[in-house]
Chains A and B, each alone.
Chain A
Amino acid sequence: MSTPMLEIRNLRVQVEEKEILKGVDLVVPRGEVHAIMGRNGSGKSTLSYAIAGRDGYEITDGDVLLDGVSITEMSPDERAAAGLFLAFQYPIEIPGVATMTFLKAAMNAQRKARGEEELTTPQFMKEVRSASENLSVNREILKRSLNVGFSGGEKKRAEVLQMALLQPKMCVMDETDSGLDIDALKVVSEGVNKMRDGGRSMLVITHYQRLLEYIVPDRVHVFSDGRIVKSGGKELALELESKGYSSFDKVAGSVADGAAA
């Protein structure tokens, strides 16, 4: 069996001394797309931040392996250079940092970390042009400061644009669909699907089954109270849509009760 792209083992994470992730186990094999669904506040974003290495997300137990290598001791930039990408649920606005300057700095930083040549300006411009055409990103917004004055949907598209430019091997997308209109959802999904090349893996966090009609997952996981309580095929998303989360809470509840006993 080949090494999974992402392997999360019994991950426990505290934020401000409060335990949010309570033993997450998850394996995303190479080339597969997995979806995570779960109600508000169940810890999905916390999982994505812990994977990306955000400050203040203290791992108290467990491990995260990217392509067989533990990344928990790496800084966020090292994780990115190792091939990880997180599309933020709430992309950060950074006034005074030009979007194009940022894109070029990010692409070149990763190339440098991998010992590759830096991009020339014409090469860079060409890549940005073609990626923004693919994702129908209005290039006017790229002239602004990073994410500043972008609409909600534009921010999400810009995240996927970054992902397309950086070509990571593991993509974590945190509610990339929320805020996108119906047409944009289609365009962005097509863009994401183009990146499914058999080698690249994805973890898609969403509240909506609709997204999973466009980006069809290999597996669906239900997240509740800081852990995965059920996993299944893509039909699990449909089941969730009709039954809601409460039927799964019982499962989670019994696990929690068991742990407490």
Chain B
Amino acid sequence: MNIAIDDKVTSAEKTLLAQLAGREKALADSMLREYGLPSRKVEAYHYTDLKALLGQVPPLAGPDLPDSIQRTGMAGPDFAGSLKITIANGMVASLPEPAGGVSASEVSGSALGERKDVLVAMNRALVDRGLDIKISGKTGQILHLDWQLQGDAVHVATSVGLELEEGARAVVVETINGSDQAHLANLGSRARLGAGAELTHVIIDVSSKKVTRLHTVEYEIGRDAQLHNLMVNSGAGLSRTQVFSRFAGEGANGDFSGLNLVGNDQHCDITLDTAHGVANTTSTQKFKAVVRDRARAVFQGMIRVEPVAQKTDARMMVQGLMLSEEAQVLNKPELEIFADDVQCGHGSTCGELDRDSLFYLMSRGIRREEASAMLIRAFVEEVLDSVSDEQLHGELSAIVQAWLREGGDGVPAGKDAGK
């Protein structure tokens, strides 16, 4: 990777370098010095130029929470009956006793593996203590990791490592929420699925629109293991979620899906890198974005099939719905296939609300806003459909509903509609 460095060091870069000073892991420091934050010249960040987009970097979160923070009454989503671990500004409020096959502890350092990516490098340099969760057996209970960004704006780096033992089954939901401040969150989530394990991993960002969330997710999927991933973003003004998955055992299967619901000036990037490294594995990717105002939704999906990975079946589908003229949906599906006996396909579509459908609904007396909302819900339901847990499905529908309400009459009228 030879990138001509922009000679101008941004103020965000300066602050980050200062925050990294004295940290053990030197990679972040040298990457920042050498390349700076990734700009559009770095292919993986083509649509998300962090050098240009990342403004002020707030101070690092201290070891203690400010007194002003009430640990109770933090904003939802909430899952009744779940095993909930709240982590506020990187601090674990309290760890549950090991029970029901779930054992959580704090370990030193980040769970993310080394990678030549500045977000990962910074996460590894800045995370002092990360969560480590081991799951054995089949848990019926939702494990809820409640990441809170609280108080005045802070830069928080956190990580969680999930280890599913052979045959284990779990539903893990990570939610990101907090105070209405310009926090910078660098989150790392890593999950390793042992043979025959099944993980449903949902990440929900409903944080303030002032927040910047940089999130790296790593999966390693073992033999005959099943991963169901779902990412729903309606929060954060700027977010970059990058998912690196490795299919490491034959018979492994991964479904990746996501929903970006954005408006105003939000910029929301989901970038997937899926590597099929052994024979007989399958993956599906289904991503949708609904974009209003001047917001941007980015999806980049890379499917790599290594020479040994015969009989790979990989499908990618990306759909964008634009509700305003300035809304942008940027999709880049990519296939890199080095095996010959594979089934791979991708499709991407992008459009506005269907005018005929809108007219049909309105001709029955349904107001434009409601008709639009019905069509938007129908569009996103295809992604939420895959969630079989009723409580989780209900929470996700509520997020969609809240997003629709937030837009209010922001659902635009057609150019010459209903004069």
User: Which A residues lie at the B interface, using CB under 8 A?
Assistant: 52-56, 58, 73-81, 85-86, 88, 91-92, 94-97, 101-102, 105-106, 109-110, 113, 145, 162, 166
> Within 8 Å CB of A76, what residues of B?
359, 362-363, 418
Chain B residues with CB under 8 A of A74 = 418
Cβ of A75 to closest chain B Cβ, rounded Å:
3
Query: Which residue of the partner chain, among A52, A85, A96, A102, contacts B361 with CB atoms under 8 Å?
Result: A102
| Chain A CB within 8 A of B114 CB | no
Number of chain B residues whose Cβ lies closer than 8 Å to a Cβ of chain A: 27
CB contact list, B379-397 vs A, under 8 A:
379, 381-382
CB neighbours of B368 from chain A (8 A): 75, 77
Instruction: Give the contact stretch, choosing among B145-153, B160-168, B369-377.
Output: B369-377
Q: Which residue of B lies closest to A87 (CB)?
A: B363
Contact B365 A92 (CB under 8 A): no
Besides A54-B363, A77-B364, A80-B364, 12 more A-B contacts (Cβ < 8 Å) are: A55-B416, A55-B417, A58-B416, A75-B368, A76-B362, A92-B359, A94-B357, A94-B361, A106-B365, A109-B367, A113-B365, A166-B364
Assess whether A52 is in contact with B365, with CB atoms less than 8 Å apart. Answer: no
- List the B side residues contacting A91 at CB < 8 Å: 360
Contact B360 A94 (CB under 8 A): yes
A-B contact pairs, 26 of them (CB 8 A): A54-B359, A55-B418, A73-B419, A75-B362, A75-B368, A75-B417, A76-B359, A77-B363, A77-B367, A77-B368, A77-B371, A80-B363, A80-B365, A91-B360, A92-B356, A94-B378, A96-B375, A96-B378, A96-B379, A96-B382, A97-B361, A97-B378, A102-B366, A106-B361, A109-B367, A110-B365
Residues of B within 8 A of A (CB): 355-357, 359-368, 370-371, 374-375, 377-379, 381-382, 414, 416-419
Of the candidates A73, A75, A105, A166, which one forms a contact with B374 in the assembled complex, judged by CB atoms under 8 Å apart?
A105
CA distance A162 to B366 in the complex (A): 13
Nearest-CB distance from A171 to chain B (Å)?
A: 12
Most chain B C-beta atoms within 10 Å of own C-beta, residue among A81, A86, A102, A105: A105
Tell me, rounded to whole Å, the shortest Cβ–Cβ distance linking A3 to chain B: 22
Contact of A77 among B362, B382, B419 (CB under 8 A): B362
Closest to A76 in B: B362
CA distance A95 to B366 in the complex (A): 17
Residues on A with C-beta less than 8 A from B356 are: 92
Nearest Cβ in chain B — how far from A53, in angstroms?
7
- 5 A-B pairs closest in CB distance: A96-B378, A75-B418, A80-B365, A106-B364, A110-B365
CA distance A92 to B368 in the complex (A): 16
CA distance A95 to B379 in the complex (A): 9
B377 and A96 form a contact (CB under 8 A)? yes
Q: Which of A56, A76, A94, A106 counts the most B-chain CB atoms under 10 A from its CB? A: A76
How far does the alpha carbon of A86 sit from the alpha carbon of B368 in the complex, in Å? 17
Nearest A residue to B414 by beta-carbon distance?
A: A55
Q: Are B375 and A97 in contact (CB under 8 A)?
A: yes
Q: Looking at the complex, which one of B370, B377, B417 makes contact with A109 (CB distance below 8 Å)?
A: B370
The answer to whether residues A95 and B378 also contact, given A53-B418, A75-B417 and a CB cut-off of 8 A, is yes
Q: Which residues of A contact B363 (CB under 8 A)?
A: 52-54, 76-77, 79-80, 85-86
With a cutoff of 8 Å between Cβ atoms, the chain B residues found around residue A88 in the complex are 360
Hey, which chain B residues are within 8 Å of A85, CB to CB? 363
Residues of A within 8 A of B374 (CB): 97, 101-102, 105
Chain B residues with Cβ below 8 Å from A109 are 364-367, 370
Kindly list chain A residues whose C-beta atoms are within 8 Å of the C-beta of B357: 92, 94
Kindly list chain B residues whose C-beta atoms are within 8 Å of the C-beta of A78: 418
Tell me the bound Cα distance from A145 to B378 in angstroms: 10
A101 neighbours in B (Cβ, 8 Å): 374
Other-chain residue from B365, B382, B419 in contact with A166 (beta carbon distance below 8 A): B365
